[in-house]
Amino acid sequence: MTQLHLDQAQIDRARDSARRIAQRVYDEMSRFTTTTVERATLRLLGVDGVDENLVPLPNRVVSHLQERQLLQHGAASAVLGAMKEHGLSAMQVAEAVAAGTLSLNRPKNEAAARADADAQARSMCERIIRQRTQREARIKSVGEASLPWLYLIVATGNIHEDIVQAQAAAEQGADIIAVIRSTGQSLLDYVPYGATTEGFGGTYATQENFRLMRAALDEVGERLGRYIRLTNYCSGLCMPEIAAMGAIERLDMMLNDSMYGIIFRDINMQRTFIDQFFSRMVNAYAGVIINTGEDNYLTTADAYEAAHTVLASQLINEQFAYLSGLKPDQMGLGHAFEINPEMENGFLWELAHAQLVRQVFPDAALKYMPPTKHMSGNIFMGHLQDALFNIVSTATRQNIHLLGMLTEALHTPLIQDRFLAIQNAKYVFSTMKDLHAEIQFKPGGLIESRAQTVLAEAERMLAEIEEIGLPAAIGKGMFAEISRTPDGGKGLDGVVRKSDDYYNPFPKLMLGGR
């Protein structure tokens, strides 16, 4: 498919505005840490497990440091100082704190504590790199599917049942398995521990669940002769901790948006902006592909009228991702096929939007979402809508293709629903494999003109956001028509201003000192 004629200078101006918007937020938020950043740091230093009341040990230690007015200095030096002074491991320090037999203080020898923390952090970084290397080796050994990758969800609430469904989905043709989290986990300010069997609408994200599913997908991938990728949800109040657990257990993708939690979960924007930077830094280092959530905007706002907000948000998400060390091929920028099917020429507008995103982000691992908002429960119409979505995806060379379900709006998909969705997509992808190379857009036609209009509107929106600042733009409801305030939402009490001597060993190892 030939390219749409787009003004590259206009794209560059929009991207420059997004870069300045993201940098301004980063500069303001880099003066702060959060309780979950410090908990993630402790996890990366080896703290795990729960106390006798099933409260995670990272939470116990961070709460202890917060009570003693020490958290602003960073959790790493206090814990490593105690390790050195008492001859304990990180886990033993955490257990002693939880038991009330040890009180943490500033280390007696700050330089020695930091040196030990650096060594401990390097050891974890080496472990993460080994996992990244293992991913690459497995892909080289067993191969991988061609693009678009078929992305399918499992959500039973029981990790052991999820494994059965995930392996069946892979056998039917899925390339990516996303384990949906239990309803409300994004609002928990702690990470549950161990294998879980009771979740509502999904399965809890825990490190043990990650380990179990990773092993299951490796096993089925070996049998099928292709690497099966694993996805979970790195969002909510524990975003950095989930990123750390995913890096340790070799997850391949994480839903990791810079603004989703603010807009759709009413999580405090300061907390979110700080947490998204650290979590994306870990994901970048682990070779994880992040998925952003712009598709959600179109479930609350009109997909035609709000198309430019998707592009503007994608450009901002891209710049936040760069600041965290992510490369373009790790950026699964999200968008969706959500125009009302009763709208005349709706398919043309969907094609215009998808091709516009492909051209603005030529190297990104784009994530394309199926129709959901206008799925009526008519399974025959739904299957047809999904087929049209599949056509746009292959024609515009999307990377990550979330399968549409004909039973959307009826129930959680059954295994036969997933089978039909996979067959639908595979048929379209095969029969139209080289369609993109055989057709061209009419210069000045409806599709090209629509893309140019959306690009111009996105440029204007970003210029306005640059003038007023991203927090004010979110406050005005410029994204998804939902308004949030800088001091509102959940989790503000977990934001901590850093002291002048704040210390965390991971940014300098993962980002080279930033």
Q: In the β-sheet with 289-291, what is the strand arrangement from edge to edge?
A: 331-332, 289-291, 253-255, 229-233, 176-179, 149-154, 400-402, 367-369, 334-336
**Catalytic residue (one of 295, 322, 386, 490):** 295
Helix axes 35-44, 75-86, angle to 10 degrees: 40
CA end-to-end distance (rounded Å), the chain? 41
Angle made by CA atoms 238, 371, 260, in degrees to the nearest 5? 25
Q: Count of alpha carbons within 13 Å of 51, Cβ hemisphere only?
A: 17
Tokens (6 digits) for 382: 């739904």
Helix ranges, 266-402 (H): 269-285, 297-300, 307-323, 346-360, 379-395
Closest CA to 395 of 367, 448, 358: 358
Angstrom distance (rounded) from CA 176 to CA 113: 42
Say whether 260 is catalytic: yes
Separation CA 511–CA 347 (nearest Å): 42
CA distance 369 to 335: 6
List the catalytic residue out of 151, 275, 322, 367.
Answer: 367
Give alpha helix (H) positions in 203-345: 207-224, 239-248, 260-265, 269-285, 297-300, 307-323
Please provide the DSSP assignment of 107-129 as one string. -SSHHHHHHHHHHHHHHHHHHHH
| Beta carbons of 235 and 256 less than 8 angstroms apart | yes
β-pairing, 495-497 vs 32-34, is antiparallel
The catalytically annotated residue of 260, 285, 322, 503 is 260
Residues marked as catalytic: 260, 295, 367
